[in-house]
């Protein structure tokens, strides 16, 4: 008998996948593991807080200075010092006085991306975190940070 004759009488065979013989306990274990992870996440959220009460004052300062540039200046900033807006030869200037060194560096670094920063009356020619830390730490009673937003 030839090969072609045997192929013409070939009957299709069902190719079902072999049945899986998983243990029913594996599903229960996955569900239990998921519940443990969810419970741990909930516990961490409750212990650490949801972020509303513990806002970073440095971030609040940056937001207040941006708001001041838009015309909504509060009389004082997140660290209790004065926050003022004035017009100069280079445009609008937002000045925060009485800043701790760390907050001055944080705000100065972020605001420099959107304008010019002046720290304690000094306009740094090359801005770096180290230079900001040096300038912000020079004033007794807190640093003064002036921001001149671009295009204002």
pLDDT attached to residue 96: 95
pTM for this model (two decimals): 0.62
- Do residues 64 and 82 make contact, with C-beta atoms less than 8 angstroms apart? no
What radius of gyration do the chain's Cα atoms show? Answer: 32
The pLDDT score that the predictor gives to residue 20 is 60
pLDDT of residue 65: 93
Q: Return the pLDDT at 53.
A: 42
Confidence band (pLDDT; 50, 70, 90) for 49? Answer: very low
| Strand residues in the chain grouped as ranges (E) | 83-88, 91-99, 115-119, 143-149
Q: Residue 35 and residue 123: Cα distance in Å, rounded?
A: 55
Average confidence score pLDDT of the chain: 79
For 12, which DSSP code? P
């Amino acid at each position: 008998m030839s090969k072609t004759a045997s192929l013409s009488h070939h009957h299709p065979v069902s190719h079902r996948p072999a049945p899986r013989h998983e243990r029913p306990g594996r599903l229960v274990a996955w569900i239990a593991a998921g519940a443990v992870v969810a419970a741990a996440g909930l516990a961490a959220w409750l212990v650490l807080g949801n972020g509303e009460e513990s806002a970073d004052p440095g971030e609040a300062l940056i937001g207040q200075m941006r708001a001041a540039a838009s015309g909504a200046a509060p009389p004082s900033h997140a660290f209790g010092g004065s926050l003022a807006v004035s017009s100069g030869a280079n445009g609008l200037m937002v000045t925060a006085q009485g800043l701790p060194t760390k907050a001055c560096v944080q705000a100065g670094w972020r605001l420099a991306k959107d304008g010019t920063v002046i720290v304690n009356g000094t306009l740094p020619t090359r801005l770096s975190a180290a230079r900001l830390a040096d300038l912000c730490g020079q004033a007794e009673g807190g640093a003064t940070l002036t921001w001149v937003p671009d295009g204002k």
